[in-house]
Amino acid sequence: MRPSLVGSHVWLVVLLLIPLSSLLIGEKLETGVQILDRSHYSDVMGEDRHYRIFLPPDYDPDSERRYPVIYYFHGWSQRYFGSQPGKTQYEKGDDNEGDNFAEFVAKNAVIIVKWDGFNPRYPGEEYLRPYNIGPVETDRQFPPYFPELVRYIDTHYPTIADRDHRAVTGLSMGGFMAFWVGGKYPHLVGSVSNFMGSDEFVIGPREFPVEYRHTDMFGNYRGRRVRHHMGTRDFIRGYHARMNRTWDAVMDSYEPVTYESEHGSAGLGDMLNFHMEAFQDPLPLPKVFDHIDVYPEFEVRGFQVDSDRHHPGFTILEKVGIDGFRVSVRSWLPTGPLMDWVSLSVLTDALYPPDGSFILTDSDLTRGRLVRQRVRSDAEGRIRWSLDGALHEIGIVPEDEKKPILTLAATEWADRPWLEPGVPTGLRITLANKGTKQVRKVRVAIKPHGSGDLVDVMESEASIDSICPGNLGTTTTPLRLLVTEDLTDRIRLDLVLTDDSGAEWKSDFPLPVNRPGGEVKDFVVADGRTVTVLEYGDKLNRKHLGRGNGDGIPNPGEEIVVLVPDNGVFRMTEVTTSDPCLEVDRDSDYWGRFDHVGGSNKVSRLAIASDCPPDRRIPLHFYFPVPDHPVQIPRAGQVTLAVSGSDHTPPWLEFFEHTKKGVLLAKLKDGGPIRTVRAEIEDRGKIGQSYSVELYDDGRNPDRFAGDSLFSALWSPVPNNSNQFVVKLAVTDAAGNSAILETKLGDK
């Protein structure tokens, strides 16, 4: 049954036996555009979800004509049906001076769908904050819902149901979502855009949300046209400038456009036209792709990735193609600690002959291990195997074929600790041969990617004599390059590899660029002491930072934070270093109460290796933003860390869990190996009842991976009320430092 639409009158049809959530509300404008408000039941959400759809004047459900679709994601305080009264509307007629959805659809053969980001925390709540991001407050996950909505729209409306004719865009928080959703689903979305969305939010599963920055996700957008609208008076523009420093340098099809505007959907018609042009000239999906995902399980371009991760982190796929790929799991991007204790399962797309035999080469670049095994493809031509969250290079070659597969494994600065503008710097390149045949006389050549206006490659070629299967090889002489642009924080280089047989491998890779700045002498080291620092942008607070003896002198085994003076006060810093004595982790200093954006300043925690020589001098590059709302003033420079003394710092606890399978897990950190871990478990519900359990990191059941500092033991039965159990971990490291770490028996 299809209701009759006459003039511009609102019509309402209530069908008997249809739930209230399925009310049909619609309007037909004088231009012929239909605006319909609909709902459907979502299996992903477990509830009815609403949407508004704009149908063009010549829309006829009985016609064979099909239309491209633009999905629009609204911002804070908005819904699928529009903005709050008194706020700018983008719907029809004179709204936004005629630059609105209905007017655009009246002149263009396109369907526009506005989904509903409504995210009430309890039934009946009228909640303004959409999408369950920053903070994560409910179990609703909007990105997994998007493919379901697409399927529903494609089966109920005359769409051109392919990724080349499907786009996403959005405003503010909806703009953030458009970038996230567009990056997550390259096979569903051909063009992506954003009106003034934040670069950063806390997102993901409710139990373990993660800090997500678009700046780090540029690899997810290959093969898509991407556009970003910004405003000269937008309160968020400082974060946009920071993101653009990266995206302008490393993305091929990115268009940042600035309007004389405050925060809003400036240039709405221009943005929609961008998508119409993308429909006419879509970019093909690249044969080799990259993808980063926050979810423990996900699908991308036919690949299925599953894991047992239930902590914040990112699964990273790089250079994915028929010859294999690179995979790892990190706690943050781009260089956070590897979560090598996570177990992964990877199922490829149907890329191979069915029921075929292949040699799979797994180079564990984290531990320097090599595993080569024979695997078979299934009846669909897919290959599955399991591995952990360390950094792996995976090569796949048919068993009856002998061929090398060369790929970039690592880069290293040859004569300086980092790359910064204006300073010629040597670069060594390490390659992995993840094939089944040796390569000889490898020629390594680099050149600037794209226009080359950011970097001058001064010495572009080097060589490697030979690389055996499963081995690594490093260039004998360094390449040399010079960054010519002061305001970039990354560059991108093309890499061409050839051998004596004439075989060729092509790829590209980004490199970080540090901001120039002078050396600071009067910095302070926080190594387990309380200091006065600026946080939250402009608040002066007393804060305990670091782990160690608190004397302000960096010792082996300590974890430190570097503080740099700024107008008479100290600021916490983000630090980069390539020194093997240091492992860098980080915290976040959220500035939401200062600038109302959702971004943060990153604060590095540096763990000094127990075997670091006591007279070692380590150069560090620091960065912190000085608030000058709405634009941040970046400050950068160098400090030199003088390590002295020896390791007197015991291990510290990252997390402790009791799994539903009855396994105790204690993830510990230390500057060196950890010798013993014993759990003393007290049942406070039964006076005098306690248990003593030894935990091990030996790779024997139930411990899965040896040497990952995740200590395990079976402890059964699983208690009904874990809250009444208190745990004291007695830990000792290889240097003889001991501690008692108190925690609770949390179930996972």
- Which of 168-177, 238-247, 445-454 has the highest mean predicted lDDT (pLDDT)? 168-177
Q: Is residue 11 predicted with pLDDT exceeding 50?
A: no
According to the model, what pLDDT value does residue 10 have?
A: 32
According to the model, what pLDDT value does residue 632 have?
A: 85
Instruction: Band the pLDDT of 719: cuts 50, 70, 90.
Output: low
Q: Which range has the worst mean pLDDT, 60-64, 313-317, 377-381? A: 60-64
Instruction: Band the pLDDT of 12: cuts 50, 70, 90.
Output: very low
Give how far Cα 416 sits from Cα of 10, 110, 172, 478, 481, Å.
69, 54, 40, 12, 12
221 and 366 belong to one structural domain: no
Which of these three, 236, 258, 280, is where a domain ends?
Answer: 280
Q: Is 1 among the domain residues?
A: no
44 and 171 belong to one structural domain: yes
- Read off the amino acid at residue 59: Y
Q: Is 5 among the domain residues?
A: no
- How far apart CA 546 and CA 527 sit, in angstroms, is 4
Instruction: Band the pLDDT of 51: cuts 50, 70, 90.
Output: very high
Pairing relation of β-strands 314-321 and 289-293?
antiparallel
Can you give the residue range of the structural domain that contains 682? 652-744
How do residues 382-417 score in pLDDT, each as one tens digit? Answer: 999 999 999 999 999 999 999 999 999 999 999 999
How do residues 340-365 score in pLDDT, each as one tens digit? Answer: 999 999 999 999 999 999 999 999 99
Q: Is 517 among the domain residues?
A: no
Give how far Cα 272 sits from Cα of 108, 109, 265, 279, 537, Å.
10, 12, 11, 11, 36
- How far apart CA 254 and CA 183 sit, in angstroms, is 13
Instruction: Identify any residues that bridge with 640 across adjacent strands, giving them in sequence order.
Output: 619
Q: Give me 672's structure tokens.
A: 């060196």
416 and 545 belong to one structural domain: no
CATH of the domain at 486: 2.60.40.10
CATH of the domain at 115: 3.40.50.1820
Looking at 56-165, which runs of residues are DSSP E strands?
A: 69-73, 111-115
Which of these three, 490, 512, 534, is where a domain ends?
Answer: 512
Report the phi/psi class of residue 569: left, alpha or beta, with left for phi > 0 and alpha for psi in -120 to 50.
Answer: beta
Q: Is residue 517 predicted with pLDDT exceeding 80?
A: yes
According to the model, what pLDDT value does residue 593 have?
A: 84
Classified as helix, coil or strand, 103 is: helix
Which of these three, 211, 246, 280, is where a domain ends?
Answer: 280
Q: Is residue 17 predicted with pLDDT exceeding 50?
A: no
Burial of residue 252, with CB atoms counted within 10 A of its CB: 0-12 exposed, 13-18 middle, 19 or more buried:
middle
Mean pLDDT of 503-515: 96
Q: Which range has the worst mean pLDDT, 166-170, 418-422, 473-477, 685-689? A: 685-689
**Long-range contacts, 12-18 (Cβ 8 Å, 24+):** none
Cβ–Cβ contacts within 10 Å for residue 712, how many?
Answer: 23
Instruction: Band the pLDDT of 2: cuts 50, 70, 90.
Output: very low
Q: Give me 237's structure tokens.
A: 């523009």
268 and 298 belong to one structural domain: no
Q: Is 518 among the domain residues?
A: no
Overall domain count for the chain: 5
Give the DSSP letter string of 412-447. EESSSSS--TTS-EEEEEEEEE-SSS-EEEEEEEEE
Q: Is residue 18 predicted with pLDDT exceeding 50?
A: no
Q: Is 3 among the domain residues?
A: no
191 and 274 belong to one structural domain: yes
497 and 529 belong to one structural domain: no
Helices (H), 611-670: none
Please give the DSSP secondary-structure letter assigned to residue 537. Answer: T
The helix (run of H) or strand (run of E) holding residue 310 is none
Q: For residues 291 and 284, is the Cβ–Cβ distance under 8 A?
A: no
636 and 670 belong to one structural domain: no
584 and 729 belong to one structural domain: no
Which residue in 197, 201, 144 sits closest to 173, CA to CA?
A: 197
How do residues 615-627 score in pLDDT, each as one tens digit? Answer: 899 999 999 999 8
Q: Which residue has the higher pLDDT, 690 or 111?
A: 111
Give the DSSP letter string of 654-697. EEEEE-TTSEEEEEEE-SS-EEEEEEEEEETTSTTEEEEEEEB-
Q: Is 436 among the domain residues?
A: yes
214 and 148 belong to one structural domain: yes
Which residue in 631, 710, 635 sits closest to 665, CA to CA?
A: 710
Instruction: Identify any residues that bridge with 402 across adjacent strands, giving them in sequence order.
Output: none
How far out from the chain centre does Cα 170 lie?
19
Q: Which range has the worst mean pLDDT, 66-75, 343-352, 511-520, 622-631? A: 622-631
Which residue in 572, 528, 576, 570 sits closest to 552, CA to CA?
A: 528
Instruction: Band the pLDDT of 731: cuts 50, 70, 90.
Output: very high
Mean pLDDT of 639-664: 94
CATH of the domain at 712: 2.60.40.1220
For tokens 């709050």, the residue is: 84
Classified as helix, coil or strand, 248 is: helix
- How far apart CA 164 and CA 491 sit, in angstroms, is 29
Give how far Cα 608 sits from Cα of 55, 108, 361, 364, 432, Å.
61, 61, 33, 24, 29
412 and 443 belong to one structural domain: yes
How do residues 584-599 score in pLDDT, each as one tens digit? Answer: 999 999 988 888 887 8
Q: Is residue 190 predicted with pLDDT exceeding 60?
A: yes
